[in-house]
Amino acid sequence: MTARTSPEAGRVIPEATVARLPVYLRALTALAETGIRTCSSEDLATAAGVNSAKLRKDLSYLGSYGTRGVGYDVDYLRYQIAREIGVTHDWPVVIVGIGNLGQALANYSGFRSRGFRVLALLDADPDLVGREVAGLAVSDFADLDEIVREHDVVIGVIATPATSAQSVADRMVEVGISSILNFAPAVLNVPEGIDVRKVDLSIELQILAFHEQRKSGAADVPGDMDAAVATDDADTDELEEVL
């Protein structure tokens, strides 16, 4: 299992724990919004959808923030987790690819409330450059270097078709972006030290379909497999055109 080193006292935090910290933060925020000021590990685990033993182990990597017999101070624990994962910092973000998905991401209000500021929207399509989306004028992709240098951007979002994703990632790395959120249906090859998180909506839906099929006990007829694959490929191509 890979792990990350926390800046606090050089603690090593397992990657699986890092992945759950934003879930705990979201659960704590929901509790705070309902007026709850303290909660037990069991209550927080239920709100986060994990078991309490796992939650207590995860939080132990951050330090000791609970009080026996009382539980956790919701606001204080929210702050500590937010600080640990870096969302108390205002992170400038650029989005490349301003098709339907890129525009939806640009309009997502949740970024700002979680410590991320969409600083620039970029596209290589001259018909899109200059248009206003979510209060920002779309910039030419050729301006990426200047924007990154001027604003110290280290996080980039790729919302392009698969055919463009690798070249966009290469350019991002070249100009100094070290963390990439990839929505394109493509596997990116990046140098060591560059963090990539992939979000593939079609794969997530297929996983849900798998579970639904298992629940119903249904099974595909072997002879239909080629048709299903062909349909999936066609849908992927159509999705790329839309994006």
The CA–CA distances, whole Å, from 102 to 29, 68, 158, 235 equal: 27, 46, 8, 19
Residues with Cβ within 8 Å of 234's Cβ and at least 6 positions away in sequence, in order, are none
Backbone angles phi, psi at 79, to 5 degrees: -65, -45
Q: How far apart are CA 74 and CA 79, in angstroms?
A: 9
Q: How far apart are CA 43 and CA 36, in angstroms?
A: 11
At residue 225, the pLDDT reads 47
Can you say whether residue 157 is alpha, beta or left, with left for phi > 0 and alpha for psi between -120 and 50 degrees? beta
At residue 130, the pLDDT reads 96
At residue 63, the pLDDT reads 80
Q: Which amino acid belongs to residue 92?
A: P
Indicate the class that CATH gives domain 15-85: mainly alpha
CATH of domain 91-198: 3.40.50.720
**Overall pTM > 0.85:** no
Q: How far apart are CA 103 and CA 81, in angstroms?
A: 30
At residue 70, the pLDDT reads 77
Query: Directed axis angle between helix 15-33 and helix 52-60, to 10°?
Result: 110
Residue numbers in the chain where pLDDT is lower than 70: 1-11, 64-65, 69, 218-243
- The pair of three-digit structure tokens given for residue 162, joined into one six-digit string: 């698969």
At residue 1, the pLDDT reads 40
At residue 49, the pLDDT reads 93
Question: Are 121 and 134 in contact, with CB atoms under 8 Å apart?
Answer: yes
Q: Could you give the dihedral angle defined by the CA atoms of residues 50, 51, 57 and 60, in that order, rounded to the nearest 10 degrees?
A: 70
Give pLDDT tens digits for 125-164. 999 999 999 999 999 999 999 999 999 999 999 999 999 9
Q: Where are the domains of the chain?
A: 15-85, 91-198
